[in-house]
Structure 1
Amino acid sequence: MRWNLKSKPKKEKVLKLQSELQVDELIATLLLQRGVENYDQAKTFFRPSLDDLHNPYLMKDMDKAVARIESAIANEENILVFGDYDVDGTTAVSLVSSYLKSYYPNVATYIPDRYDEGYGISYKGIDFAEDNEFTLIIALDCGIKSIDHVAYANAKNIDFIICDHHRPSDELPNAVAVLDPKREDCYYPYDELCGCGVGFKLVQALAEHRGQTIEDLVLYLDLVATAIAADIVPITGENRILAKFGLEVINSNPRPGIKALIQNVKKKILTITDVVFIIAPRINAAGRIKHGNEAVALLTEYDLDQAEQFASEIEQHNTDRKGLDKQITVEALAQIETNNEKENFTTVLYKENWHKGVIGIVASRLTETYYRPTIVFTKSGDKLAASARSVKDFDVYNALEACAEHLEQFGGHMYAAGMTLKEENYLVFKDAFENEVKNTISPELLIPEIAVDTEINFSDINPRFIRLLSQFEPFGPGNMTPTFLAKNIKDTGYAKTLGKDEEHLKLFVKQNNSEGFAAIAFNHGVNLEMVTNHKPFESLFCIDENEFNGKVTVQLRIKDIKN
């Protein structure tokens, strides 16, 4: 692992912020690293407010979108809310459809079948709209590149409103409104919203038009927070506000569907991390194994007994997903060995019977193992479909753009993307992608990096420091859980390995004569020898609070160890 210690803020800035906030140097340093430089910014950071959300009408085409929806309602048109089958898409569809249904009945939802229709707006979905007399489709978390699909719908007198957050091409679809803060001509103040976030801004604009306030929309924020967590968007700006208040809803009064998913979780307070690892995989499992419609049914159900039945079915899908994920990962690792591709700059694999629903997870697993841009293909109809994952600071979307001549279609973000191609183009694409990455990636990006916020002494870890640190939440990209460096620490003689294969390490560590702390080092069982017999070592760690039998204790979550 590369240890990358962040540069220290200027001393005068640290002293000024310390004085303004009456905090210690460590807290001031952590705040400055997050762009918080004065009292007002600190107040916004520590006390996010729904009043700080931007006016939704600042988004390009928002006025057109609201006018078209209100026109549809006035003329009693049928409205189809269409979205992708992942967490971001299904939460967005659940949010917008349930809001519209709260005052207008002629609303239905449509999630494309991952295997039959693939990602994004589908011709089959448009035909469904025509057959059932829908004259307006609101597309969420997809559609920004669906130029031909929208033209097809227009020819059938079906209008589109696109709500997306993916990068547009030079040409936009000929829709009534295209809401996407990443549009070049959109000057909305925050462009890191997820698809559900863009859907929420549409709902916010509709609510404002109808004389409602932001308080009327708080009940929908559990959906938005779930999408923010699952889509790994920055927890900054509006996302931070939406995530904070959404977590409060999840922890106090979640909708029946989310309540059913978390009712067996023992933790009293769920964090963004819990949403990522507990709620999101289960919602995703519906679209991966069966159909995304099941996720929407769960998230829009108001009867708890029925929601629990839906949740039980989705739990089984998640169990099935885990088995497939594990099996395919083993096969993929074997293929890398067989093909002797361990020294490549990329991992590009294909097997025709790999389950399309889990190739994205497998790509993530392989990226963790070999730490390089990774694409996993499977057969999808008469084409190959794939999911791509990248390493920190390398833009896989740009790399795919450079290889676009070999692809049928692609879309996504810097770190994750999807694509399709003709089977005969697979090998030429594989070579082109390998060469593109080889020629553009910096060698150090192929070594996993741990960003280190600052050095710390154990004597600094006191109750006030931990209390202030907890107020930095919710954590996520752009505001990651702080990682600290401590030197000259020693295990007090209690170090031992844990886990079925003794892969983890449990310690009790001290630094000089300071108070000691329990510590856990996942996947560091091999380093037992390094820390035994009171040998001094350096460590990178996060500070966690553990609750057991009503007692809260501090635990260091060790990320790496060096002599």
Structure 2
Amino acid sequence: MNKRWTVRDNADDEVVKKLAADLNIDTVLSTLLVNRGISTFDEARYFFRPDILHLHDPFLMKDMEKAIERIDDAIAAGEKMLIFGDYDVDGTTAVATVYSFFKERYENLEYYIPDRYKEGYGISTQGIDYAADNGFTLIIALDCGIKSVDKIDYANTRGVDFIICDHHLPGAELPAAIAILDPKRNDCEYPYKELSGCGIGFKLIQAYAETHDIPFEEVARYLDLAAISISCDIVHITGENRTLAHFGLQKINTDPCMGVKTLVEIAGRTGNNLSISDVVFLLGPRINAAGRIDDAKHAVELLISCDEKLAREKGMMINTHNAERKGHDLDITGEALNMIDSDEELIGRKSTVVFNEHWHKGVIGIVASRLTEKYYRPTIVLTRSNGHVAGSARSVLGYDLYEALCECKDLLIQFGGHKYAAGLTMEPENVEAFKARFEEVVSATIAPEQLIQQIQIDAELRLSQIEPKFFRILNQFAPFGPENMSPVFISKNVYVSGNAALVGAAHIKMSVMQEGTAAFDCIAFNHGEYLPQLKPGVPFDICYSIEENVWRERRTIQLNIKGIRI
């Protein structure tokens, strides 16, 4: 697939030079900082030295006082409380955090995770009925609820109060809950807007702890779960999230809770240097697999467990579910690819919409992501579910998928999500009309360049600049993630040093150098088609990120190549 190489606009040269002098660093590094909105020594110190004191006062969040007051009233009166959360990583880590914290201080509470297939996403009528029928008078809803106006109205008729802790965009009308904690509310002046659902739950227990003189160390015990939610829910790793992720990763690597420790071991990872990327690819799929294949309650049971034997049992069960999920993923992806490649009309479209009523609903989101990687265009994968057709949608850089779905809303029962990912439900008879409408909308609104995958390059670099001090400072930009991605550099006129070799079916392993520089080891995933052209003496350009490769306890700098241009 052809990719656009786009170099960021140069930052203000005078600011870059002054910051480089103030910090005694390479101007390439100061350029990276300025492009992240950091232009002074104090701002750089704040960025490079995360501190727990950087966390905001939780009572700056609208309705926090109401939430704590209602919880206090419930505990004082001995009411039954239900901790309710979504079935994905963010929801289950949020439930595990809030439930574990309050369970140590109050016995009369349970947790509830809706069934992905019977109840669907978010607050359900079935969940409310369970609460009302079993004497629960307060539900703390995590990672969902901000748009559940009708459900909260129904809960109020059944005598069940709600505290909503959500991070999604509100609709035109807010639910009639006792308290709504969501920084994205128009009337909320909380200084950081990009918390995860678990992050909102973390702020709730932080506020409760401050109110009741509980040491912050008791709240910090759940930083590992907060970091997992931030990593896997793909929220911005800036500001408060960066602080939570920084200290949460430290906890994962030094003192994780029993469930996380077990999951890391089962994933086959040793050592204490897990990164955000490791959390996303090793832990996230396993936690998600519980709800995709069976019941997300198993994930919560693992994450709240203090018993090593039980944690091991739950961890192995979840690992088995993940293996099953991989099988469904591969089979369905293969079927979808064949469906598209055998249809000239589908190949020529600017969107992808595929439907098979037998596909497993739990993995269609993953399949949509894989199809988007392959064809690089807005993609929706549909299957049958409870008499309806359910879908999972993914977008490409810069294209607002949610707005496109708004143009098709008359064909949908419901839909929700954001710019790059969404879920939807429709009647079976609307599938063909929806395919046509969605293609029509995308064709009219997507720019041609948005259909070509972009590699955004932060700066040009000579290989001679990659020395130990440069790499040490570059590592301090971590943890990496949205809005703070691992920097990508371009180096021009490099040469193969020795021979390039194919690794596996499509990867290249080689060393490269520029004139007068040392050679650097490189790995180029899925670039095997370039191998015949990579001959000694033939110059080419590369764009890449810089990482540490660990092999048999030997640590070396490695270039992870994102693009090759002969």
TM above 0.5, yes or no, is yes
Q: Which residue of the other structure, out of 523, 527, 530, is the alignment partner of 2:526? A: 523
Matches within 5 A, 1:40-439: 40-263=42-265, 264-340=268-344, 341-439=346-444
Give the residue type in structure 2 aligned to 1:227: S
Distance 1:267 1:372, change over 3 A: farther
Q: Which residue of the other structure, out of 553, 558, 561, is the alignment partner of 1:550? A: 553
SS of the residue aligned with 2:541? Answer: strand
Q: Deviations over 1:201-252 (max 9, x none)?
A: 1111111111124333111010000000001111001110000000000000
Could you tell me the percent identity over the aligned residues?
53
Q: Deviations over 1:35-66 (max 9, x none)?
A: 11101110111011111111111111111111
Q: Deviations over 1:423-460 (max 9, x none)?
A: 12222222222122111111101100000000000110
Structure 1: distance between partners of 2:326 and 2:183: 35
Structure 1: distance between partners of 2:270 and 2:105: 37
Structure 2: distance between partners of 1:93 and 1:386: 26
Shift of 1:339: 3.6
Give the residue type in structure 2 aligned to 1:520: I
What's the counterpart of residue 565 of structure 2? Answer: 562
Q: Which residue of the other structure, out of 462, 477, 481, is the alignment partner of 2:486? A: 481
Q: Deviations over 1:508-562 (max 9, x none)?
A: 1110010111111000111002212321000001111112222211111111100
Contact 2:499-2:536 at 8 Å conserved across structures: no
What's the counterpart of residue 536 of structure 2? Answer: 533
Unaligned runs of 5+ in 2: none
Structure 2: distance between partners of 1:172 and 1:405: 23
Contact 1:493-1:534 at 8 Å conserved across structures: no
What's the counterpart of residue 10 of structure 2? Answer: 8
SS of the residue aligned with 2:393? Answer: strand
SS of the residue aligned with 1:481? Answer: coil
Shift of 1:291: 0.5
Structure 2: distance between partners of 1:148 and 1:281: 32
Q: Which residue of the other structure, out of 496, 500, 503, is the alignment partner of 1:498? A: 503
Q: Deviations over 1:250-300 (max 9, x none)?
A: 000000101001123134310000000001100000000001000000000
Contact 1:50-1:214 at 8 Å conserved across structures: no
Contact 1:223-1:246 at 8 Å conserved across structures: yes
Structure 2: distance between partners of 1:96 and 1:388: 30
Structure 1: distance between partners of 2:216 and 2:539: 54
SS of the residue aligned with 2:221? Answer: helix
Shift of 1:382: 1.6
SS of the residue aligned with 1:505? Answer: strand
Structure 1: distance between partners of 2:549 and 2:497: 20
SS of the residue aligned with 2:317? Answer: helix
Give the residue type in structure 2 aligned to 1:114: R
What's the counterpart of residue 452 of structure 1? Answer: 457
Give the residue type in structure 2 aligned to 1:511: Q
Contact 1:504-1:522 at 8 Å conserved across structures: yes
Structure 2: distance between partners of 1:439 and 1:201: 42
Give the residue type in structure 2 aligned to 1:6: R
Give the residue type in structure 1 aligned to 2:455: I
What's the counterpart of residue 468 of structure 1? Answer: 473
Contact 1:166-1:411 at 8 Å conserved across structures: no
Shift of 1:154: 0.5
Give the residue type in structure 2 aligned to 1:509: V
SS of the residue aligned with 1:508? Answer: strand
Structure 1: distance between partners of 2:312 and 2:294: 18
Contact 1:80-1:129 at 8 Å conserved across structures: yes
Pairing 1:513–2:516 present: yes
SS of the residue aligned with 2:78? Answer: coil
Structure 1: distance between partners of 2:218 and 2:310: 25
Shift of 1:137: 0.7
SS of the residue aligned with 1:358? Answer: helix
Structure 2: distance between partners of 1:460 and 1:483: 14
Structure 2: distance between partners of 1:87 and 1:54: 24
Shift of 1:494: 1.6
Q: What TM-score comes out, normalization by structure 2 length?
A: 0.98
SS of the residue aligned with 1:450? Answer: strand
Contact 1:6-1:451 at 8 Å conserved across structures: yes
Structure 1: distance between partners of 2:458 and 2:214: 42
Contact 1:491-1:508 at 8 Å conserved across structures: yes
User: Alignment RMSD, CA only?
Assistant: 1.0
Shift of 1:192: 0.8
Q: Deviations over 1:161-214 (max 9, x none)?
A: 111111111011111111111111212111111111111111111111111243
Structure 2: distance between partners of 1:394 and 1:69: 41
Count of aligned pairs: 561
What's the counterpart of residue 24 of structure 1? Answer: 26
Give the residue type in structure 1 aligned to 2:335: E
Structure 2: distance between partners of 1:553 and 1:277: 22
Structure 2: distance between partners of 1:173 and 1:406: 25
Give the residue type in structure 2 aligned to 1:544: E
